[in-house]
Amino acid sequence: MGILTRITSALLVNCALLLSAPSTAQNSSECDSGLEGPCATNSAALSMNDIQSIGSHNSYKLAIPAPELALIASYNKDSADSLDYSHLRLTTQLNMGLRQIELDIVYDPEGGRYADPLLPRATARTYGAMPYDAQQMHAPGFKVLHSQDIDVHSNCATWILCLEEIKAWSDVNPDHVPILIMFNAKEGGSAYPGVTPALDFSREAYRALDAETLSVFPADRIIKPDDVRGGFATLREAVLAGNWPALDSARGKVFFALDERPEKVRIYMDGRSSLQGLPLFVNSISAEDDHAAFFTMNNPVGDQERIRAAVNAGFIVRTRADANTQEARSNDTSRREAAFASGAQYISTDYYVPRLEFSDYSVSLPGGAAARCNPVRLDKRCR
């Protein structure tokens, strides 16, 4: 058994013990900060934006096989280093307590556009090569991968397969806090030569994405913008008035966020200024936007005060505890600590399990909890 397998097994056992422990005085110190499981803190008075959870960055990504990574390094060593990370299956991540999943999708309305990627083909006869499994890549639909032709190995190859795995886990864990499923809609080419450009996301593409989403998760299992907006004129007004669903009513559900630049967000919104009738939230740039509810602010050091202000105002924020493998390689915890202190509800990492050939750097909540009371919004109430 390899060192990573041993660490993962130990973490899974610890998590299972935490979530299954009876609520007694003997173990209460382990469970005080937890908001899931039979020893959960009483959460009746909390809203879904009153928590803090850990998530993963590019949650679907598998390791790039050594021959493919070597080709990337020959072109750009820094890029190869930044891509040298991978993730466990989504089910395993959820079992370990992660409550934010990030996916990258490409549009493939005819099917087969990404079925024969460049680097697996170029290294197919090289020692250590990994065969590319194109089984799921031929049918029409949205595919999940990091960078077409270059970084293509995924633990769930399509949007539907990824969502089906999350839903299957949710079905058997109905008391979980809301899971944020955020995604990037990849378009265009690449800095690497010979790459097949990803198709643009048109209005029709986004409506097809909505349809695929609702084919897996029924509407009553999704927290939608309309659920937050209620009778308010705009989504922003509802958020500022504290109209996020209560945490207990949001259990067992997911919510989606398109994390893209404003021009792509506008295409998805299709003239609906508060996302009326749409199933997905979108990333906001300004707290003055009518659709403002969710923010991606990935620099918890430079954006510390901005994140805290947004969280205090009622918005939901996702930030990153590490990026490009740098913190793990140097065992630098300053960004991680800034992320926790910012109050961002979802803190993304590549290292919920440490990569020991780099360092023992890792990211988790105290006691291994899946969620805790938000340290900015509810410090006194939940201490």
**Rounded-to-integer distance, Cα 40 and Cα 74, Å:** 50
How far lies 204's CA from each of 48, 188, 220, 268, 272, in Å? 31, 17, 24, 9, 15
Residue by residue, DSSP assigns 103-160 as: EEEE--SSS-TTSS-HHHHHTTTSTT------TTSSSSS-EE-SBTTTB--BSS-BHH
CB 184 within 8 A of CB 161: no
Residue 37's pLDDT is: 73
- Name the one residue in this structure whose structure tokens are 């959460």: 43
Lookup: tokens for 100: 């934010």
**Rounded-to-integer distance, Cα 329 and Cα 243, Å:** 41
CB 190 within 8 A of CB 146: no
**Rounded-to-integer distance, Cα 290 and Cα 309, Å:** 18
How far lies 186's CA from each of 99, 148, 263, in Å? 23, 9, 13
Q: Tell me the CA end-to-end span of the chain in Å, nearest whole number.
A: 40
Spell out where the chain has E strands. 51-56, 100-106, 143-144, 179-185, 254-258, 281-282, 294-296, 316-320, 346-349, 371-373
pTM of the model: 0.90
Bridge partners for 201 per DSSP:
none
**Rounded-to-integer distance, Cα 362 and Cα 327, Å:** 9
- Nearest in space to 347 (alpha carbons), one of 322, 373, 325: 322
Residue 313's pLDDT is: 98
Per-residue pLDDT of the chain (383 residues; tens, 9 = 90+): 333 333 333 333 333 323 332 222 223 333 444 788 765 666 778 999 999 999 999 999 999 999 999 999 999 999 999 999 999 999 999 999 999 999 999 999 999 999 999 999 999 999 989 899 999 999 999 999 999 999 999 999 999 999 999 999 999 999 999 999 999 999 999 889 899 999 999 999 999 999 999 999 999 999 999 999 999 999 999 999 999 999 999 999 999 999 999 999 999 999 999 999 999 999 999 999 999 999 999 999 999 999 999 999 999 999 999 999 999 999 999 999 999 999 999 999 999 999 999 999 999 999 999 999 999 998 665 65
CB atoms near residue 69 (< 10 Å): 19
Residue type, 39: C
* 199: Cβ contacts below 8 Å, ≥ 6 apart: 106, 107, 108, 109, 113, 187, 205
